[in-house]
Amino acid sequence: MAQNPSKLPPEVWNNVFGYLSATEKLNVRATCKYFKTIVDHRSLWKNWTVVLDFKNGSYNRKFWDTLRHRKVSSAVMKSTKVKHWKQLALFLPILTTVVMDQSSQECFSCLKDFPNMRRLVLRSSCSDLLLDISRFPLFLPEKLTYLSMCGVMFPTTSVSKFISVLSQFKNLDSLICHQVCIYCVPIVTVILSQVQVPQGTLVHWLWPVWSSSTAWILHCRRTGCSSCLA
């Protein structure tokens, strides 16, 4: 006969479950209420990132309560619907890391609802993203320490604003540009010389991997998109 798991103190199980992957922890969580309580402890979800796709519509209240109980502070958002972003901000306003998996201007405007955000990742935009300083929440330039842009395209009119915006971020520890397209950029070195980032900032920029009369690509030093993950 199997022994009652509650005969061992929660601290023991917590240490054991700490070696499990997220999937394994969720499997254990489904076995009994005792393990469910232990697995949901915030210590087991430190530095864990939740991926939200909203494929089946909005998540229920119980789902959000569980994430809050785990003190989840990092999220990858795959939906481009403003209503989904508003739901995320309503239930998880404490997020410190936000990944916009499909960037859009509408979603970009929702960032103002995350006052604790320190790390921002923009990637794979489905349309041109106008990076206008007036669109940035006022707290962003002062509080962001990590900014990553991957596969983001900016229209011609935003070249000067692109430079202006990046120059506002005085507290960045890391700035990553991977496959960032700026149409009709005159010379990439002009951009690099004009973007003023804090001394000591880790900048992942390299020469364009290709160029034409219509676009330049600023490519991250690292291969692939692994560096564009929060």
Q: Which one is predicted more confidently, 65 or 228?
A: 65
Round to whole Å and give the CA distance between 125 and 128: 7
CB 171 within 8 A of CB 199: no
Q: Report whether pLDDT(107) > 60.
A: yes
**Which of helix, strand or coil describes residue 85?**
helix
Start-to-end C-alpha separation, the chain: 45
pLDDT at res. 128? 67
Closest of 87, 79, 140 to residue 111, by C-alpha: 140
Structure tokens at 119: 């790390």
CATH 1.20.1280.50 domain extents, the chain: 1-46
Q: Which one is predicted more confidently, 216 or 162?
A: 162
Q: Average pLDDT in the 132-146 region?
A: 71
pLDDT at res. 3? 65
Closest of 38, 29, 41 to residue 6, by C-alpha: 38
CATH 3.80.10 domain extents, the chain: 52-228
Classified by CATH at the fold level, domain 1-46 comes out as Monooxygenase (1.20.1280)
User: Which range scores top for mean pLDDT: 9-23, 134-148, 198-212?
Assistant: 9-23
Name residues whose C-beta falls within 8 Å of residue 197's C-beta, 6 or more positions apart in sequence: 166, 167, 169, 172, 175, 203
Where is 37: in which H helix or E strand? Answer: helix 33-39
pLDDT at res. 172? 82
Q: How confident is the model at residue 176 (pLDDT cuts 50, 70, 90)?
A: confident
Closest of 65, 63, 109, 58 to residue 87, by C-alpha: 58
Q: Report whether pLDDT(61) > 90.
A: yes
Provide the whole-model pTM: 0.77
Q: Average pLDDT in the 169-178 region?
A: 80
Q: What is the CATH number of domain 52-228?
A: 3.80.10
pLDDT at res. 194? 54
Q: Buried b vs exposed e over 104-114: b needs ≥16 C-beta within 10 Å?
A: beebbebbebb
